[in-house]
Amino acid sequence: MYSVSSNLFYKVLKNIIDRGVNSKHFLALSLEISEELLDIVLESLLEKGYLKLIDEKEFKKEASLHCKFCPFANTCTENLPTVFYELSEKGKIAVSERSS
């Protein structure tokens, strides 16, 4: 079983705040961790209220803007994940407090 440090929680939150709405696949790539470990971190962050889910329908409303600025846009496949994550207000506060 993985032992997850608060530093990794912060890195995930900071990555989402820096890059905007993000998918699990792209988060794992940018953090250079396995999707299995990321699943554990994301589940914990969701349970604690630091993240919220965005469903595919809601994401598609703004997808063209997000994709335009995505660092993975050139290598992205058409099979995008249907679940995306963004910070809740609680997550934004936690990142800003730690960054201060």
Tell me if 1 is assigned to some domain.
Answer: no
Backbone angles phi, psi at 55, to 5 degrees: -80, 170
Domain count across the chain = 1
d(CA 22, CA 8): 16
Tell me if 100 is assigned to some domain.
Answer: no
| CA nearest to 44, candidates 99, 11, 4 | 4
- pLDDT value, residue 62: 57
**Mean pLDDT per 10-residue interval, the chain, length 100 residues:** 69 83 78 92 91 69 60 61 75 83
Tell me if 70 is assigned to some domain.
Answer: yes
The pTM of this model reads 0.67
- pLDDT value, residue 1: 38
Q: What CATH number is attached to the domain comprising 63?
A: 1.10.10.10
What per-residue string of b and e applies to 9-42 under the rule 16 or more CB within 10 Å gives b? bebbbbebbebebbbebbbbebbebeeeebeebb
- Tell me the residue range of the domain where 88 lies: 6-95
